A and B are shown apart, each in its own frame.
Chain A
Amino acid sequence: MQTWQGPLEKIDDYRWRIPKSYMQGMRVPGIIYADRNLLESIKNDKAPIQVANAACLPGIVKNSLAMPDIHWGYGLPIGGVVATDIESGGVITPGGVGYDINCGVRLVKTNLTEKEIKPRIKDLIYALYNNIPAGVGSEGKIRVSASEEKKILTNGAKWAVDKGFGTKEDLEYTEEKGRMEGADPSNVSERAYQRGKRQSGTLGSGNHFVEVQSVDEIYDEKTAKTFNIEKGQVTIMIHSGSRGFGYQVCDEYAKGMSSAQSKYGISVPDRQLACAPVKSPEGKSYIGAMKCAANYAWNNRQCLMHLVRGVFEKFFNRSFNDLGMDLIYDVAHNIAKFEKYNIDGKEKLLCVHRKGATRAFGPGHPDLPSEYKDIGQPVIIPGDMGRHSFLLVGTKKAEETFYSTCHGAGRLLSRKAAVSACRGRSISQELAEKGIVVMASGRGTLAEEAPEAYKNVVDVVHVVHEAGISKRVARMQPLGVIKG
């Protein structure tokens, strides 16, 4: 029997509505972006219930949204987007951002070709594996004092660049330039500091990775030219977040929010959606801490890219500049942002929660780097380790989703089911037969993260492209991966 028994009204081939009447307390309808095919797997999951739950959040504007890679999370579903109106009592919820605050991806180009790299890929992946700290509770070489860590929290990726771990251009091509204004270290507990102090420049575990890939399809030649990428070219994708620091911040604020919420007379259907008005002291305090974690994550990905560049420099005996290792873009996919939108003819400042969703500003948006002004914001969508990843750009039409789009393939199988499905098989062997070299530090990681545990990212990207909320530019295939 399907988990979801409620209504899903067809709006068009890619949009499905959960009407307000589905559940008492829903303030707006829910809209799920999916095609008929993906919708079937979505209905077998608890995620649609979570879309309806999120529609109960005070101050929510227009719709409770879900991207096609939606799956069951806690609080908001993974793939959920919720915007609240700050001036009308709109809330912020730590459960709408997640534990891994500013988990995200960056895409780095090189001027190497698949042909050059393929014969040496095994050695290259080994070198990456040996030089990038990964795995459960991994600690890195970058260890900082408490006062230095505070600088990371307020300066984000700029901290790394100031230390020589990157260039000014790297910051230009990072969402928010790698640093959110208003980060307040006084809202961060001693415990979060403790968990964060040794983890800058570490990958972590689970679905985090560094992948060496080659571009195998270009959909939009003109835009690809702006990114300086073409078929056969090697790119590198880095996926990680705010590590133990962010988890601790979310944990503490999720606990504190439930008492705040009763103070403001708010009730929500799931404890993990505990929230407070953005303008309340509790809301402000979480936001100050969340921004610290976001900055921690941007610094982490900057440090990781620095380590990757170092490995490539040594391996190819050429400087990273000479190898053309420029950052194409870095996006956050677990975060709450403050953005202005025109709602019923009035400009309003909204708090946009994106949990497992990527910001996708369309062409002309003032926050884009000048080089990308005409084409829109790059959107980086990793797939599973056996199949493709995508580079897309945002569109003007994405205003309907508060300029948000999908963030990845989205899980299909639970980790337990994936491990059962892979019993007696060697995933690394199967991938090797497809020409993909994989190394993972955690026992069981490969089975849990096996390609079949995920929806096919091609289907997910098809929906966002056809729905018009972002546009395909290029597709990449994996050559080698290191996992935590």
Chain B
Amino acid sequence: MKKYEQIPHTSDIALRVYGKDLKELFANAAYGMFDIIADLEGLKESVSIDVSLKAPSKEELLVSWLDELLYSFYTKGIIFFKFDIDSINKEELVAKAHGRHVGENRNRLKSEIKAATYHDLEIKEERDGLNVQIVFDV
């Protein structure tokens, strides 16, 4: 199954993300986002952070998760590309994100994402799993 794909959006960047469950959906969404930010191929992990979040709904939890990672990217300078979601339900998430410092990888950077938006955001359940469309402000 496809993990994610970029879908046309006139002003910003939009992804459709797939996953068999919430764990996979959240991990794929995070990878898809960092794939917009930087060239991830061949990067080796050297640093990890713990993430623990609560939100009123699974959509809000998804945006919070992505924004949390963006915040760490901008303030700690870490490109993330591997995600272990330890536990997740509709309102709570505990995870580890692994990555590498931007440092000598500056030439891998592609696009600046300002934020994940709530625009048209809905996690949909279909026969073969979950999917969601996320619009990023770039």
Interface, chain B (partner A; CB < 8 A): 6-13, 37-39, 56, 60, 63-64, 67, 71, 73-75, 77, 102, 106-112, 114-115, 117-121, 135, 137-138
Residue numbers in A under 8 Å from B107 (CB-CB): 443
Jot down 29 A-B pairs with beta carbons below 8 A, ordered by A.
A71-B11, A72-B11, A73-B11, A73-B12, A74-B117, A100-B114, A136-B110, A137-B102, A205-B112, A205-B138, A206-B112, A206-B138, A244-B74, A251-B67, A251-B115, A258-B118, A259-B56, A270-B120, A272-B118, A411-B11, A412-B10, A415-B111, A415-B138, A441-B109, A442-B111, A443-B108, A443-B110, A445-B111, A448-B111
Residue numbers in A under 8 Å from B121 (CB-CB): 271
Cβ-closest 9 pairs across A and B: A74-B119, A205-B112, A271-B118, A136-B109, A414-B8, A247-B114, A99-B114, A74-B117, A136-B112
Residue numbers in A under 8 Å from B71 (CB-CB): 191, 194-195, 248
Residue numbers in A under 8 Å from B119 (CB-CB): 73-75, 270-272
User: How far is B50's CA from A350's CA once the two chains are assembled, in angstroms?
Assistant: 45
CB of B135, distance to nearest CB on chain A (Å): 5
A-B contact count (CB 8 A): 117
Residue numbers in B under 8 Å from A247 (CB-CB): 114-115, 137
CB of B49, distance to nearest CB on chain A (Å): 15
| 19 extra A-B contacts, CB within 8 A, seeds A137-B112, A448-B111 | A45-B10, A46-B10, A47-B10, A71-B10, A72-B10, A74-B120, A100-B114, A136-B37, A137-B77, A194-B75, A247-B137, A251-B67, A271-B121, A272-B118, A415-B13, A416-B6, A442-B110, A442-B112, A484-B112
Q: Are B111 and A444 in touch, CB under 8 angstroms?
A: yes
Q: Are B111 and A254 in touch, CB under 8 angstroms?
A: no
Residue numbers in A under 8 Å from B75 (CB-CB): 191, 194-195
Q: Are A78 and B11 in touch, CB under 8 angstroms?
A: yes
A222, CB-defined interface residue at 8 Å: no
Residue numbers in B under 8 Å from A248 (CB-CB): 71
**Residue interface mask A18-53, B partner, CB < 8 A = 1:** 000000000000000000000000000111000000
Interface, chain A (partner B; CB < 8 A): 45-47, 71-75, 78, 98-100, 135-137, 191, 194-195, 204-206, 244, 247-248, 250-251, 254-255, 258-259, 270-272, 274, 411-417, 441-445, 448, 484
Residue numbers in A under 8 Å from B60 (CB-CB): 255
Residue numbers in B under 8 Å from A45 (CB-CB): 10
CB of A101, distance to nearest CB on chain B (Å): 10
Q: Are B118 and A254 in touch, CB under 8 angstroms?
A: yes
- Given contact pairs A98-B137, A194-B75, A270-B120, A205 touches B10 in the complex (Cβ within 8 A): no
CB of A482, distance to nearest CB on chain B (Å): 15
Q: Are B115 and A250 in touch, CB under 8 angstroms?
A: yes
User: How far is B67's CA from A73's CA once the two chains are assembled, in angstroms?
Assistant: 19
User: How far is B137's CA from A415's CA once the two chains are assembled, in angstroms?
Assistant: 12
Partner of A137, one of B39, B74, B108, B120: B74
Q: Are A411 and B74 in touch, CB under 8 angstroms?
A: no
User: How far is B7's CA from A136's CA once the two chains are assembled, in angstroms?
Assistant: 22
Q: A244, A254, A274, A484: which has the most chain B beta carbons within 10 Å?
A: A244
User: How far is B115's CA from A254's CA once the two chains are assembled, in angstroms?
Assistant: 11
User: How far is B107's CA from A441's CA once the two chains are assembled, in angstroms?
Assistant: 8
User: How far is B134's CA from A157's CA once the two chains are assembled, in angstroms?
Assistant: 35
- Given contact pairs A99-B114, A271-B121, A445-B111, A72 touches B9 in the complex (Cβ within 8 A): yes
**Nearest-neighbor residue (CB-CB) of A417 within chain B:** B8
User: How far is B38's CA from A195's CA once the two chains are assembled, in angstroms?
Assistant: 19
CB of A15, distance to nearest CB on chain B (Å): 22
Q: Are B110 and A416 in touch, CB under 8 angstroms?
A: no
